[in-house]
A and B are shown apart, each in its own frame.
Chain A
Amino acid sequence: MTKVDTLVQFCDVVKHFGATTALDKVSLDIQPGSIIGLVGSNGAGKSTLLRHIIGLYLPDAGTCTTLSMEARRLGPAEFARIGYVHQEGELIDWMNVGQLIRYVAAYYATWNTELEQRYVRDFELNLKDRVGSLSPGQRQKLAILLAIGFEPELLILDEPASALDPLARRQFLNLMLEMIQTQNRTIIISSHILSDIEKIIDHIVIMDKGRILRNCALDTLQEEFCRVTLTAAGGKLPESLPFRNAIDWSRSDGQAVLTLRHADEVEVVRQAGAIGCQAQIRRMSLDELYEAALK
């Protein structure tokens, strides 16, 4: 049964491509207003999951519901609320940039011309350039513009920044930050550049081999793991360290770096002091959290 306030709901979705299981009993609820980062290695099933949301893929088993409707039955009214950037940025190559924008805009009653003009300028898109002759980065910018031009309620971004240069990535992040100001706008973004999405997401879904390993608030994950740098006061660390919740560590003679799970900071400092060490505790970046969560 679909909850009233659930925007997207996966219920035991299974998807196979030949012998490969792309999604393995995936269950997921996405609430309106959340900014979700979908992360995982290549082939983890991120794009497959996103394509199920908009009904491009059909599940072999289980159900996928989007905007309170089975994804396969989504119609024009629902698609007018969904923006999607495909990771390969499928566009119409023979048109020029201006023609393509006008063509896509014609389908949407809510198209925001002001926003369009602003991002044409910010992204430095030349309206007379042939779409087919754009660089991968320019194509991606155009794809993003087409997906946000009508200010969708649900924005799905599949590797949107992979081809962007650092400057364009910053512009893209600013755009995302601006978009999330709008109440109840939901953004699902898959990316390999975790340092970028870390700044905008409030929720994280980690996938591996078609399964969801973690599905939680980013804060929860940040509270679950921490990185501790131990420095031996006497110049040499003891042979064994008393941290049973360490999931990863590296050490040299006088220093050790540990990744701890469910660690109490006060307890860590106390234990470090007991073995004659000084402990420095810091929050982990999303890159580090992702690695830790996979362990």
Chain B
Amino acid sequence: MNLVMVNLSHYWKRPALILWQVLILAMLLPSIPILLEQKVHTWMTPLFWPLFWMLVMGTMTATYQTEILTKPLSYTLPGHRHIVRKLLFGFNLFSSLLSAAIVLLLYPRDLTSRCCAAVLVLAFGQILFWVGVWCSYRSRNQPIVGFAFPILLFGPMVMDSFSIGQHWLQPLVPAVIAVISGIVSYRVWHILGRASFFQACCGRHYLGFTGAFSPGQLKKAQREQFKAISSETDEKLSRLGRFFIEKIALNRNQPFASFIYGVMYQTLGPVALMTLKSHGANLIIMALMFLLFGYYGKTGNLFIWLMFIFSLLGTDLQVHSTLLMTRGRMERFVSALMSLVFLTVIGLAMASVGIATTIMLEPFMPTFPIRGFIAEFHALNWQSYYLFIIGAPVVALLRLLFWGKRSFMLISIVLGAGLMGASFPLLMNIRDNLISINWGIILVVLILAWSAFTVYLYRACFHKNLAIK
């Protein structure tokens, strides 16, 4: 097997990656009806989707390649560096030609406009592919999934603001963009061929895509982040620590209480640490997301809870900790259950603060047009809060179910992301109905979700191994 085949073999040897490839390819399919019908959503231009797809392709392709490059073995393989460059260019060419061909064949305009559109997609798409590659390379210790979700959520809206309208389809415009694309590609070719680029990648800790599901890799990534925290930040954190440690010591004879305090400390500590470290940057990002959701209209009310549900994927309920302390299986069970309740309450409280902020800001937020569509700010409301109360145990259950089974977790997340993407139009349509769902049904689903989590947690705590082999 030659080096190209060894490199490419990753794509078919790992089941989750095969699925991911299929999903990415399937992402191109919506461009067909969008092109044919000219517009699906008022704010989406027909050429938007093939271009957006190029950005995703670039991000995902570079993620796998960067993962490979960080392995010291690949650095020492003679000639491997040229293969990575060739593969990235090959993938770029393949995907840009594919999206351009679809535009050329389906774009319902005269031949000149079709050719212009195809060249535009080919050239601009190549640039977007390299943007995706750059984003992926720069993501370093950020799980690429966490990185991809904001792109999937906000990418369409942001990119469409700069998207391509009919007035761009003049022969000169594609020609200029083709020249720019050529220059960009030439530069990228040289950068990817530099020895310094490979030296910088070699041995670097890179979470990539699969790393996001590896507890060991995640811990390593966290350690990298913690290294940069100052002792001043630490001092502030110590106050939080002292509070919990006192509570633990006071309740030493009541193990459930002491472990619930322990789990709270272990859950809140890193959040507080990272928030303090970035001087509130995380809070600002969260506030911005709330504002953006306000412009999404009623769908924003849905997204706010989805955001909190997904954030729970990163929490650890300490069921499988090997740091022994005085914790038996029963204590693990009760403290895990209580900490999920605690996290749910914290999530609801944080969302409430965000919602209250949007209510206060509503009168002051501007209204502006995007491509004939009026973007108007609506204060978020509480009407879909049950989604979080149902979603929290479901996510926690998934984490427990797939604990130690990285590839299953990966597949389920990929499927979940795919389903979410596929059901986006459906979500847009049923958003009004969601809030009017029968409360009886909601209550039944809620009880089912919490019961399923509790039953499985009991099983995990009392009938399963608590450490990975």
B398 to chain A, nearest CB (A): 22
The answer, among A57, A103, A130, for a CB contact under 8 Å with B265, is: A103
B330 to chain A, nearest CB (A): 7
User: Chain A 103-131 against B: per-residue CB contact (8 Å), 1 yes, 0 no?
Assistant: 11011110000000000000000001011
User: What is the bound-complex CA distance between A4 and B328, given in angstroms?
Assistant: 23
Does A35 interact with chain B (Cβ within 8 Å)? no
Residues A82 and B324 in contact in the complex (CB < 8 Å), given A93-B226, A103-B265, A107-B248 = yes
A58-B464 contact in complex given A86-B322, A106-B249, A132-B227, C-beta closer than 8 Å: yes
Q: A132-B226, A133-B223 are in contact. Are A107 and B326 (CB under 8 A)?
A: yes
Of the listed residues A76, A90, A146, the one surrounded by the most CB atoms of chain B closer than 10 A to its CB is A76
What CA separation (Å) do A92 and B237 show in the bound complex?
14
Chain B residues near A84 (CB, 8 Å)?
322, 324
- Does any Cβ of B come within 8 Å of A72's Cβ? yes
**Shortest Cβ distance from A128 into B: residue:** B231
Min Cβ gap A201→B in Å is 22
Interface residues of B in 212-233 (CB under 8 A from A): 219, 222-223, 226-227, 229, 231
Complex Cα spacing A130 to B266, Å? 15
CA distance A78 to B255 in the complex (A): 12
A54 and B324 contact, CB distance less than 8 A: yes
In the complex, which residues of chain A have a beta carbon less than 8 angstroms from the beta carbon of B463?
58
- A130 and B229 within 8 A (CB): yes
Closest residue of chain A to B245 (Cβ to Cβ) is: A106
CA distance in complex: A79, B238 (Å): 27
What separation, in Å, do the CA atoms of A132 and B249 have in the docked complex?
25
User: Do residues B327 and A94 form an inter-chain contact, with CB atoms below 8 A?
Assistant: no
Question: From B250, which residue of chain A is reached at the shortest CB distance?
Answer: A106
Question: With A56-B465, A132-B223 in contact, do A79 and B324 touch (Cβ < 8 Å)?
Answer: yes
Given known contacts A86-B322, A94-B273, A17 and B327 CB-to-CB distance under 8 angstroms? no
Q: Are A95 and B269 also in contact (CB < 8 A) when A56-B467, A103-B241, A109-B252 are?
A: yes
Q: Is B466 an interface residue (CB 8 A)?
A: yes
Chain B residue contacts of A80, Cβ below 8 A = 326
Contact A76 B327 (CB under 8 A): yes
Q: A56-B466, A56-B467, A93-B219 are in contact. Are A74 and B328 (CB under 8 A)?
A: yes
Alpha-carbon distance between A90 and B322 when the two chains are bound, in angstroms: 6
B-side contacts of A73, CB under 8 Å: 328-329
Cα–Cα, bound, A82→B273 (Å): 31
Q: Is A199 an interface residue (CB 8 A)?
A: no
- CB-based nearest A residue for B320: A56
Cβ of B469 within 8 Å of any chain A Cβ, yes or no, is yes
User: Interface majority SS on B: helix, strand, loop or mixed?
Assistant: helix
Question: A17 CA to B404 CA in the complex, in Å?
Answer: 13
Once the chains bind, are B323 and A91 in contact (CB under 8 Å)? yes
Would you call A102 an interface residue if the criterion is a C-beta within 8 Å of the partner chain's C-beta atoms?
yes
Does B195 make an interface contact (CB < 8 A)?
Answer: no
- Given that A93-B223, A99-B241, A107-B258 are contacting pairs, would A75 and B234 also be in contact in the complex, using a CB cutoff of 8 Å? no
Interface set, chain B 249-289, CB cutoff 8 A to A: 249, 252, 255, 258, 262, 265-266, 269-270, 273
Bound Cα distance A113, B252 (Å) = 17
Within 8 Å by CB of A93, from B222, B245, B249, B329, lies B222
Least CB distance from A79 to B in Å reads 4
A223 → B minimal CB distance (Å): 37
The interface on chain A, measured as residues whose beta carbon lies within 8 A of the other chain's beta carbons, has a size of: 44
Q: Closest approach, in angstroms, between the C-beta of B231 and any C-beta of chain A? A: 6
B325 at the interface (CB under 8 A from A): yes
- Cβ contact within 8 Å between B466 and A107: no
Query: B412 at interface (Cβ–Cβ under 8 A)?
Result: no
B229 (CB) vs chain A CBs: closest residue: A130
Q: How far is the CA of A108 from the CA of B258 in the complex (A)?
A: 11
B273 pairs with A106, CB closer than 8 A: no
Whether a CB of chain B sits under 8 angstroms from the CB of A162 is: no
Report A-chain residues with C-beta under 8 Å of the C-beta of B226: 93-94, 130-133
Q: Which of B61-82 contact A (CB under 8 A)?
A: none
Number of A-B contacts (CB under 8 A): 113
Q: Looking at chain B, what size class is its interface with the partner chain?
A: 35 or more
Most buried by A among B248, B266, B270, B324: B324
A57 / chain B contacts, CB cutoff of 8 Å: 465-467
A17 with B245: CB separation less than 8 A: no
**B331 CB–A CB distance under 8 Å:** yes
- B255 is contacted by which of A58, A72, A75, A132 (Cβ under 8 Å)? A75
Of the candidates B227, B255, B266, B328, the one having the most CB atoms from chain A within 10 angstroms of its own CB is B328
CB of B259 to closest CB in A, whole Å = 8
* A96–B248 CB distance below 8 A: no
Q: A51 CA to B466 CA in the complex, in Å?
A: 9
Q: A103 and B222 in contact (CB under 8 A), knowing A74-B328, A78-B328? A: no
Interchain CA distance A71-B138 in the complex, whole Å = 47
Q: How far is the CA of A83 from the CA of B326 in the complex (A)?
A: 9
Q: How far is the CA of A133 from the CA of B464 in the complex (A)?
A: 32
Shortest CB distance B188–A (Å): 35
Nearest residue in B to A80 (C-beta to C-beta)?
B326
Taking the nearest CB of chain A, how far is it from the CB of B235, in angstroms?
A: 10
Q: A41-82: contact bitstring with B at CB < 8 Å (1 yes, 0 no)?
A: 000000010010011111000000000000011111011101
In the complex, what residues of B have CB within 8 A of residue A147's CB? 324
Bound CA span A95–B268, Å: 12
When distances are taken between beta carbons in the complex, the residues of chain A under 8 Å from B326 are 76, 79-80, 107-108
Q: How far is the CB of B58 from chain A (nearest CB, A)?
A: 32
Q: Which chain B residues border A128 with CB–CB below 8 Å? A: 231, 234
Name the CB-closest residue of A to B465. A57
Say if the beta carbon of B321 comes within 8 Å of chain A.
Answer: yes
- A106–B252 Cα distance when bound, in Å, is 7
Q: What A residues does B245 contact at CB under 8 A?
A: 102-103, 106
Task: Report the bound CA distance from A263 to B329 in whole Å.
Answer: 50
Given A93-B219, A99-B241, A103-B248: A130 and B258 interface contact (C-beta under 8 Å): no
Q: Are A76 and B241 in touch, CB under 8 angstroms?
A: no
**Bound: A146/B322 CA distance, A:** 13
- Whether B402 sits at the interface, judged by CB under 8 Å, is no
Question: What residues on A are CB-neighbors of B258 within 8 Å?
Answer: 106-107
Residues of chain A within 8 A of B234, CB atoms compared: 96, 99, 128, 130
Interface string of B306-333 (1 = CB under 8 A from A): 0000000000000001111111111100
| Additional A-B contacts beyond A58-B463, A106-B246 (13; CB < 8 A) | A55-B328, A55-B466, A57-B466, A57-B467, A58-B465, A76-B331, A79-B327, A80-B326, A92-B323, A95-B241, A95-B269, A103-B244, A106-B258
Q: List 18 A-B contacts (CB under 8 A).
A: A17-B469, A22-B469, A48-B469, A73-B328, A74-B328, A74-B329, A75-B330, A90-B322, A94-B222, A94-B273, A95-B269, A103-B241, A103-B248, A106-B246, A106-B258, A107-B248, A108-B326, A132-B219
Question: What 5 pairs across the A-B complex have the smallest Cβ distances?
Answer: A132-B223, A132-B226, A75-B328, A106-B248, A76-B255
